[in-house]
């Protein structure tokens, strides 16, 4: 789109007005805009009024010019022409004044409408800005709340992570300690096994249960049960044997006095 300052000048407006007038038309802001292919009405109107002023200055001079002395006209005709030219000049002046008044009113209406549009636009923009600021403030508050929530969640997560890390370290330390204890216990168990390999099998089974309580609990329990059964069986056999011996001794002792009584006369 061409620049209005380059397109709308006194020369271009005057040329357009003269072209419109030469075609029998009446120059106006709209017609000049159409003739020039655009332009701001606020720039065209004062230039058009200036052109009209120039036309007004030229019109009375031609209309009130003295008749050519070479033309033989009656005095009455000269007076009529003079009155007619004066009347035409007055009418043209009145029309020019009316046109100026109308143009001023139009310009004022355009200016008022423009001011109203500007005020409405400013009000709309201010309202829009207010709405955008309110929405932005709400979004900012929401973002701050979310950031605070995320920060709290992060703090909790970091605390849980630190706690888990501490528990892992403690578990690793316990595992190391347990492993060391297991190795020491295994060594002690081997030593004890070499020392008390037969007679203390039950004690050995009990210690083995303490060392590998999860891996061989059933086996250890069965071994302990078998060991206990063996001891009970051994003790029971010994007690039975001793009781049998005592019974035999008692029977022998009982038979001896009876035999003596039988041998007497």
Q: So what's the pLDDT on residue 260?
A: 56
Q: So what's the pLDDT on residue 103?
A: 65
Q: Is residue 172 part of a domain?
A: no
pLDDT at 65 over 50: no
Q: Is residue 35 part of a domain?
A: yes
Instruction: Assess whether 203 and 123 both reside in one domain.
Output: no
Q: So what's the pLDDT on residue 18?
A: 95
pLDDT at 64 over 90: no
Residue 222's domain comprises 199-249
Give the Cα separation of 190 and 230 in Å (integer). 23
Q: So what's the pLDDT on residue 265?
A: 45
Which residue spans within the chain are E strands per DSSP?
Answer: none
Contacts of 39 (CB under 8 A, 6+ apart): 4, 7, 8, 32, 33
Q: Is residue 117 part of a domain?
A: yes
Q: Is the dihedral of CA 86, 89, 95, 98 positive or negative?
A: negative
- Please state the separation of Cα 191 from the chain's center in Å: 70
Q: Which of 43-57, 101-115, 139-153 has the highest average model confidence (pLDDT)?
A: 43-57
Q: Is residue 29 part of a domain?
A: yes
Q: Is residue 184 part of a domain?
A: no
Instruction: Assess whether 28 and 109 both reside in one domain.
Output: yes
In degrees and rounded to multiples of 5, residue 38 shows phi and psi of 140, -170
Q: Is residue 73 part of a domain?
A: yes
Q: So what's the pLDDT on residue 45?
A: 94
Contacts of 182 (CB under 8 A, 6+ apart): 211
Q: Is residue 244 part of a domain?
A: yes
Instruction: Assess whether 123 and 203 both reside in one domain.
Output: no
Q: Is residue 263 part of a domain?
A: no
């Amino acid at each position: 789109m061409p620049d209005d300052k380059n397109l709308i000048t006194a020369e271009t407006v005057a040329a357009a007005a003269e072209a419109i007038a030469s075609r029998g038309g009446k120059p106006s802001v709209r017609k000049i805009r159409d003739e020039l292919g655009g332009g701001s009405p606020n720039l065209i109107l004062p230039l058009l009024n200036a052109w009209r002023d120039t036309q007004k200055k030229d019109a009375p001079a031609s209309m009130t010019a003295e008749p050519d002395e070479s033309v033989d006209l009656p005095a009455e005709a000269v007076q009529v022409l003079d009155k007619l030219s004066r009347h035409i000049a007055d009418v043209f002046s009145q029309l020019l004044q009316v046109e100026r008044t109308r143009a001023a009113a139009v310009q004022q209406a355009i200016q008022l409408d423009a001011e109203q549009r500007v005020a409405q636009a400013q009000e709309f923009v201010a309202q829009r800005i207010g709405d955008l600021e309110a929405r932005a403030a709400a979004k900012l508050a929401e973002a701050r709340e979310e950031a605070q929530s995320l920060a709290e969640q992060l703090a909790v997560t970091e605390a849980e992570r630190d706690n888990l890390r501490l528990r892992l370290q403690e578990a690793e330390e316990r595992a190391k300690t347990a492993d060391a204890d297991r190795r020491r216990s295994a060594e002690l168990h081997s030593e004890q096994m070499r020392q008390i390999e037969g007679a203390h099998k039950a004690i050995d089974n009990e210690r083995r249960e303490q060392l590998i309580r999860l891996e061989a609990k059933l086996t250890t329990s069965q071994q302990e049960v078998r060991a206990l059964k063996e001891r009970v069986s051994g003790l029971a056999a010994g007690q039975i044997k001793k009781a049998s011996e005592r019974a035999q001794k008692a029977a022998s002792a009982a038979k001896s006095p009876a035999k003596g009584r039988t041998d007497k006369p």
